[in-house]
A and B are shown apart, each in its own frame.
Chain A
Amino acid sequence: MFKNLLRRKSSREIAKDRLKILLISDRVNCSPEMMEMIKNDIAKVISKYMKIDTKSMEIQITKTGNKGRSLKNPTLYANIPILDLMNHDIP
């Protein structure tokens, strides 16, 4: 433990972390363009009700706790910073 704190991350850990992220997007088979379109549409809908920070919002498809390699229960995570809960533009 202390060894890990003192020295930099081992290349083994770096490889593992990189692969885990890489394989999720490989397996989802969802193009970056499509993700961008989903993101824009979500932003549009939420913006009807509140003011959000569209520039720093993030969306991501991840695997939930299920073990095994099938992506049977993928989850779409959206991280949307709210600037103002009340959208004063609503008439």
Chain B
Amino acid sequence: MSEVIVVTSGKGGVGKTTTTANVGTGLAAMGKKVILIDTDIGLRNLDVVMGLENRIVYNLVDVVEGNCRIKQAIIRDKRYPTLFLLPSAQTRDKSAVNPAQMVKMISHLKDQFDYILLDCPAGIEQGFQNAIAGADRALVVTTPEVSAIRDADRIIGLLEANEIHKIDLVINRIRSDMIRRGDMMSSEDVVDILSLPLIGMVPDDENVVIATNQGEPLVGTSTLAGKAYQNICQRVTGKEVPFLDLEKGISFWARVSGIFHKG
């Protein structure tokens, strides 16, 4: 039985695409059959984050319009035998697809994949409606900032209004140094405000930028963010994994590097 997960946030630039790429890759690395669908028509990005931009022939709009068979549009990731990408169209706009078409397309994919991950565009317009139309559950990505949390709250309300009740929270770009100074809301603060179950805490890690530069998802690497994404994947499959203590983790390394500096 497959699960259709939409990754959404409301606000742009909080890490939806990075989360989709890493969670999808991590699930595939666990042996699950996964397809990532970029639903941001006109502003596609999941292909570049995955490093698959040179292999696109057909796209989501071609599938919906019947210009090709769905199999022709799906790109297989050579690094993981069970990971696939359905890219979005770059030269069309959001009105090229409607929610009913999305539901129909997803229903065709359901029996072929364990997980279908939908990378949602920013905003609450048609692109959002398209992305959530066929979803069973949602990952809401936010950062510990007032604007991102406000938008996340609005998105959660809209998801609930659309009968999506399994919603989990990913808090991205956590900076433990700022939290310790009292200059950033902690994950407890964010969970308290949004009242959603927490599925992931991802630190603000420069390795995310490096990984994106290279088109290589960092899930599974020894970086802190890579570990955080790995844990999210485990929790998505229903396993209970303790949260990385980001504060302690960093202060520990700070202590270690402090020792080296002294020596």
Contacts and interface: CB of A to CB of B under 8 A. Distances in A.
Nearest to A14: B146
Contacts of B160: 70
Interface in B125-181: 145-146, 149-150, 153-154, 156-157, 160, 179, 181
Interface stretch (A19-27, A32-40, A43-51, A53-61): A19-27
A19 B182 contact: no
Contacts of B181: 10
B195 A19 contact: no
A11 interface: yes
A69 B146 contact: no
Contact of B153 (A16, A23, A70): A23
A13 B189 CA distance: 9
Given A67-B195, A68-B195, A69-B196, A12 B150 contact: no
A27 B149 contact: no
Contact of B150 (A16, A26, A68): A26
B246 interface: no
Contact of A19 (B154, B183, B193): B193
A86 B68 CA distance: 80
Given A22-B150, A23-B153, A12 B182 contact: yes
Contact of A12 (B153, B179, B194, B196): B179
Chain B interface size band reads 20 to 34
A18 B149 CA distance: 11
B106 interface: no
A23 B185 contact: no
A15 interface: yes
Interface of A is mostly: helix
B184 interface: yes
A11 B183 contact: yes
Find the residue from A22, A67, A69 having the highest chain B CB count within 10 A: A69
A39 to B, nearest CB: 25
B238 to A, nearest CB: 22
Contacts of B101: none
Given A12-B189, A23-B150, A69 B182 contact: no
B186 interface: yes
Contacts of B189: 12, 16
B156 to A, nearest CB: 7
A15 B146 contact: yes
Contacts of A70: 160
Contacts of A69: 153, 156, 194-196
A69 B195 CA distance: 6
B62 to A, nearest CB: 38
14 contacts: A10-B181, A12-B179, A12-B182, A12-B186, A12-B189, A13-B182, A15-B145, A16-B185, A19-B146, A19-B193, A22-B150, A23-B150, A23-B193, A26-B154
Interface of B: 145-146, 149-150, 153-154, 156-157, 160, 179, 181-186, 189, 193-196
Interface of A: 10-13, 15-16, 18-20, 22-23, 26-27, 67-70
